[in-house]
Copies of this chain bind each other. A is one copy, B any other.
Amino acid sequence: MAGSMQASALLITKLIDHAAREHTAQEIVTYWADSSITRTSWGEVGKDARKFAQAMQRLGMKKGDRIATMAMNHAHHLISWYGAAGMGGILHTVNPRLFEEQLVYIMNHAEDRVLMFDKAFAPIVESLKPQLKTIEHYIQFDGEKGEYPTFKELIDAEDGDFDWVEMEENDSCGLCYTSGTTGNPKGVLYENRSNVLHALSAIQPDVMNLTSRSVMLPVVPMFHANAWGVPFACAAVGAKLVFSASNEPSILWKMIREEGVTHSAGVPTVWLGLFADMDQNGGDYGKMQVAIIGGSACPRSMIVRMMENDIHVAHAWGMTETSPIGTAGSRPTNWDDLDFDERVDSISKQGRPPFGVEMRVVDENGNVLPRDGVSSGTLEVRGPWIIKRYYRADEDAVGDDLWFDTGDVAVMHPDGVMQITDRAKDVIKSGGEWISSIELENAAVGCPGVAEAAAVGVFHPKWEERPLLLIVKKPGADVTGEEIIAFLSDKVAKWWLPDEIKFVDELPHTGTGKVLKRAIRDEYKDYKLGSLSEA
């Protein structure tokens, strides 16, 4: 009985065609690395994407070929995404902040044929080049022409008279590697269908709440899980996009205020930087309405500050393998009945999954745990934008029932709300019980004078592990370890209180701004815990 309604494939090209046709004049603004600002539109991006597709064909690219980018967020990067998808290519976003050996591994593993890169990354490219075995074409995205052909001359040579290559909705269109903590990075291969369904889900009020009147500044890099799908979701509704190739807080504030940004998306560290800049230099939040915060848990104090300024925090959880939205901290059904503190409590959790994502928490033996708000276990997910198999892997990343082990530890509440308590590998195991490093850190960041915090488990002869809390003070602050312990004492269980607080000048971060717990654990694995007073 199939065939009564139209077969209409869910394709990335349909997203850009929709935006270009229905929201032709809507602006796409870029702040470039050279401090210049340019404006284009969905209509122009649609045309340029066709030129890019033509250019790639001219270079010999065929359906399924990998086209790599090593770039910040800007309009040329956006055009390359849609253009590559439109000729059936697979756009591989490479994270320029990875270690050199990871970069080499990734690009050789992907067998990328083209590398588009920002001029700022030219030194990295030069350094990698001798080891990159499959790249035939190096093209510079921005800036003045140097040794390599530029993006501009590439597309200027084309007329844009191009029909998108015919595709099925399950055809791949994007590739992003996760930098795992063990072994080599693994590639997540996105499909047209998974990206379109993810975009349709993302625009709903309980996720990103996007309309054609939204102005979105994705601070999350485009090389990080498709910038959380923002460039696709914005095309679906015709939102204005504001890109910044710089993540300098003063630049971000400038763009937020001058361009009327209503929505942003980024990791908590970004907002710590923005708040610090505001505290020092003043200024307002402009027209900001929604801050999508994910990548790591959003500290309570950040949620409070946002809410006091009428900004909704969409507290998102996800990963590269989940496209990435798994939850977005949707407001609960009884929101109107909650007081301010209860609302903060609610937003501090990661929320309910949108339609499409199924979620459960299982114990070490794979038994599904009850949604009782207490039982803590490994979070598993499945759905149309969740990974099945890593790129070029020999076997699926999931079993027959499709449940994917996220490596996160979570609790499910009776009303369906999911709360991440830790990464499985970051949990501090004290006397057979689990201490959430994330909860410790988020509580500590709320203490006056504390800029950043990291809790790790350190060997303890009796308890197996006990928490060590590393603290970066705010500039000029003189908070003490005793004050922090006192601050924490009514916020976490007594036996969770760290055995030692150590002040450090800075913490190591990943390329996407998350604290690099693995490096800290490695550094402190043989650390001898002192008492608080000794610290």
A residues in contact (CB < 8 Å) with B: 1-8, 10, 14-15, 18, 21-26, 64, 90, 168, 170-172, 188-191, 193-194, 197, 199-201, 203-206, 209-213, 235-238, 240, 323, 330-333, 335-336, 352-353, 355-356, 358, 382-391, 398, 402, 415-416
Contact = CB atoms under 8 A, between A and B. Distances in A.
Given A353-B22, A384-B10, A4 B190 contact: yes
A331 B385 CA distance: 30
A235 B211 CA distance: 22
A385 B332 CA distance: 30
A206 B211 contact: yes
Contacts of A358: 18, 21
Contacts of A190: 4-5
Interface majority SS (helix, strand, loop, mixed), chain A: loop
B416 A22 contact: yes
B416 A6 contact: no
B237 A388 contact: no
Contacts of A212: 206, 330-333, 352
14 contacts: A4-B172, A5-B190, A5-B387, A6-B385, A6-B402, A7-B170, A15-B355, A21-B358, A199-B355, A200-B201, A204-B211, A205-B237, A206-B237, A235-B355
A211 B171 CA distance: 32
Contact of A2 (B171, B188, B203, B402): B171
A4 B210 contact: no
Given A204-B210, A213-B331, 12 more contacts: A2-B191, A4-B190, A4-B387, A4-B389, A5-B194, A6-B385, A18-B355, A24-B416, A197-B200, A200-B201, A205-B237, A206-B212
Contacts of A188: 4
Contact of A193 (B5, B90, B191, B323): B5
Contacts of A390: 4
Contacts of A388: 3-7
Pick the most buried of A24, A355, A385: most chain B CB atoms within 10 A of its CB: A355
A94 to B, nearest CB: 18
